[in-house]
Amino acid sequence: MSDDADLASTIAELEQQERELVLPHLDNDDAWALGCLLVELAAERDLPVVVDVRRAGQQLFHAARPGTTADNDSWVERKARVVMRFGASSYLVGLRARARGTTFGEQHQLPHQEYAAHGGSFPLRVEGVGVVGTVTVSGLPQAEDHALVVEGLRRHLA
């Protein structure tokens, strides 16, 4: 399979995840439960990640596992801004730019210190409402950050 076909396949998979992973509601307790679930998954695997859950700009959950630094917090902020601005996962936004033969930075001309279209931040969509917040993981390679978030959302919704 060509790189273009692989990229198109990955983009289609990410778009499907966003259609499937929709919450019935999101209150503070839901955010706490989702954040704790992600931290538990990370702890079981001894992963050095930061986990962050936000709704309407308010940080409802934030935890930093051993091995993380303040730089991970910066990545969380930058990735979450991408999700809230574009209404799609930070990974998907970055891959869509790549599929167009450019980079996120070249395509949108947004400040690098404020926006990062790298995997790990996912839109929290509520049925009948739309995107209301973000869940973000930072500390692993971008595909792994994204995969951990998706796994956590799937378990949370089960």
State yes or no: pLDDT of 1 exceeds 50.
no
The average pLDDT across 151-156 equals 98
Percentage of the chain modeled with pLDDT above 70: 99
35-87 tens-digit pLDDT: 999 999 999 999 999 999 999 989 999 999 999 999 999 999 999 999 999 99
User: What CATH class does 3-157 carry?
Assistant: alpha beta
pTM of the model as a whole: 0.94
Three-class HEC string of the chain: CCHHHHHHHHHHHHHHHHHHCEECCCCHHHHHHHHHHHHHHHHHCCCCCEEEEEECCEEEEEEECCCCCHHHHHHHHHHHHHHHHHCCCHHHHHHHHHHCCCCHHHHHCCCCCCCCCCCCEEEEEECCCEEEEEEEEECCCHHHHHHHHHHHHHHHHC
Q: Where are the domains of the chain?
A: 3-157
